[in-house]
């Protein structure tokens, strides 16, 4: 197992370097003088010069990248142009909120998705199967902003009005309590629910066709034991991978959900920064989400290797 882990970690290094380089270069690709673009069209020549010096734009590109990497290793993500404060503390605080939202969504998507997948696979082509797969399809096709706004409309306005309640059942925006988390988590998790349900179904159907399942049935085991102890365990291996990959996708997808529900996460911070042309914040937020995505993919690979020895030695 150790050589496998070492190999995977080594593979991740060039990707991490590539991602940091891409993000670093992208800010310098903004058309025109990056210092002017960052400081703003109406900035004074002194401010433009200050930005140029701060970013080290007067130095060779590789030197700049070296300094950027060194800063990253020391936890320095730059300084916001708007607040003039270091970006890192705000990024970590908001990352916590995004991780909370993504984790809640994944938990929900896993429970509901696997349930739908198992129900569909154990009764293939029945009405349960069709209903489960229609739900999965709706999850995959519904834009998060539509689902979010519709949930808001129902649980914060229409239902309370119908039931003559004094306030909303679930708060439409904000954060702080579990009630605030419900609608954003359902919204963000809908897509992953669909993916996990479809994966669970096809993986279960694949496993159910194998000889050892026939053997298990032939030796008189109950259908329940065959389904849950023999089929599901083996069918779960690819599902675990999908769940891991979905966690990364949820980190990215959170950008939209956070905008709908005014959730104080990294995604909303990023979008606000784009409008304010606060490029150090844009750079830091994209970098942190991308590195998080790589780390999650790495962990998924390692877990996959752990549960399926064929991958390790392949």
CA 247/CA 113 separation, integer angstroms:
14
Under rule CB under 8 A, which residues in 268-287 are in contact with another protein? 270-271, 274-275, 279, 282, 286
Indicate which single residue of 30, 182, 205, 311 sits in contact with another protein (rule: CB under 8 A). Answer: 30
CA 217/CA 220 separation, integer angstroms:
5
Among residues 203 and 297, whose Cβ is nearest to another protein? 297
CA 116/CA 196 separation, integer angstroms:
9
Return the range that interacts with another protein (CB under 8 A); candidates 49-57, 117-125, 147-155, 217-225: 147-155
CA 304/CA 225 separation, integer angstroms:
25
The set of long-range contacts for 73-79, using a CB threshold of 8 Å and a minimum separation of 24, is: 77/280, 77/283, 77/284, 77/287, 77/288, 78/280, 78/281, 78/283, 78/284, 79/54, 79/280
Do residues 256 and 144 make contact, with C-beta atoms less than 8 angstroms apart?
yes
Among residues 66 and 143, whose Cβ is nearest to another protein? 143
Identify the three-state secondary structure at position 234: helix
Residue 172 beta carbon to another protein: minimum distance, rounded to whole angstroms: 9
Residue 28 beta carbon to another protein: minimum distance, rounded to whole angstroms: 10
DSSP 90-150: HHHHHHHHHHHHHHHHHHHHHHHHHHHHHHHHHSTTSHHHHHHHHHHHHHHHS-HHHHHHH
Indicate which single residue of 149, 159, 182, 237 sits in contact with another protein (rule: CB under 8 A). Answer: 149
Contact between 5 and another protein by CB under 8 A: the answer reads no
Contact between 184 and another protein by CB under 8 A: the answer reads no
Contact between 137 and another protein by CB under 8 A: the answer reads yes
Residue 215's Cα: distance from chain center in Å?
40
Under rule CB under 8 A, which residues in 36-75 are in contact with another protein? none
Residue 27 beta carbon to another protein: minimum distance, rounded to whole angstroms: 8
Residue 201 beta carbon to another protein: minimum distance, rounded to whole angstroms: 12
Residue 153 beta carbon to another protein: minimum distance, rounded to whole angstroms: 6
Contact between 227 and another protein by CB under 8 A: the answer reads no
Contact between 138 and another protein by CB under 8 A: the answer reads yes
Burial class (CB in 10 A: 0-12, 13-18, 19+), 166: exposed
Residue 266 beta carbon to another protein: minimum distance, rounded to whole angstroms: 10
C-alpha distances in angstroms, 62 versus 56, 66, 146?
Answer: 11, 6, 44
Under rule CB under 8 A, which residues in 117-136 are in contact with another protein? none
Where does this chain bind another protein (CB under 8 A)? Answer: 14-15, 18-19, 22-23, 26-27, 29-31, 137-138, 140-146, 149-150, 152-153, 157, 248-249, 251-253, 255-256, 259, 270-271, 274-275, 279, 282, 286, 289-290, 293-294, 297
């Amino acid at each position: 197992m150790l050589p496998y882990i070492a190999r995977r970690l080594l593979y991740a290094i060039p990707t991490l370097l590539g991602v940091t380089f891409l993000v670093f270069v992208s800010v310098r690709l903004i058309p025109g003088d990056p210092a002017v673009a960052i400081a703003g069209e109406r900035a004074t020549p002194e401010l433009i010069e200050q930005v140029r010096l701060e970013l080290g734009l007067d130095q060779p590109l590789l030197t700049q990248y070296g300094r950027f990497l060194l800063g990253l290793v020391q936890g320095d993500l730059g300084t916001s142009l708007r607040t003039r404060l270091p970006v890192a503390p705000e990024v970590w605080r908001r990352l916590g909120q995004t991780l909370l939202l993504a984790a809640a969504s994944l938990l929900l998507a896993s429970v509901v998705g696997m349930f739908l997948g198992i129900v569909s696979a154990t009764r293939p082509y029945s009405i349960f199967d069709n209903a489960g797969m229609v739900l999965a399809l709706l999850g995959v096709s519904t834009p998060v902003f539509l689902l979010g706004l519709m949930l808001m409309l129902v649980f914060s306005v229409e239902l309370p009005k119908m039931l003559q309640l004094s306030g909303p059942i679930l708060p439409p925006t904000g954060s702080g309590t579990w009630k605030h988390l419900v609608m954003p988590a359902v919204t963000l998790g809908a897509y992953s629910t669909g993916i996990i349900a479809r994966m669970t179904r096809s993986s279960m159907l694949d496993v159910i066709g194998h000889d050892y399942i026939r053997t298990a049935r032939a030796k008189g085991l109950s259908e329940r034991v065959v389904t849950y102890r023999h089929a599901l365990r083996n069918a779960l291996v690819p599902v675990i991978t999908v769940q891991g990959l979905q966690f990364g996708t949820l980190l990215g997808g959170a950008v939209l959900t956070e905008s709908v529900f005014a959730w104080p996460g990294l995604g909303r911070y990023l979008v606000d920064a784009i409008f304010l042309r606060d490029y150090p914040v844009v750079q830091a937020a994209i970098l942190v989400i991308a590195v998080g995505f790589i780390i999650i993919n790495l962990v998924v690979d390692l877990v996959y290797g752990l549960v399926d020895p064929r991958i390790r030695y392949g």
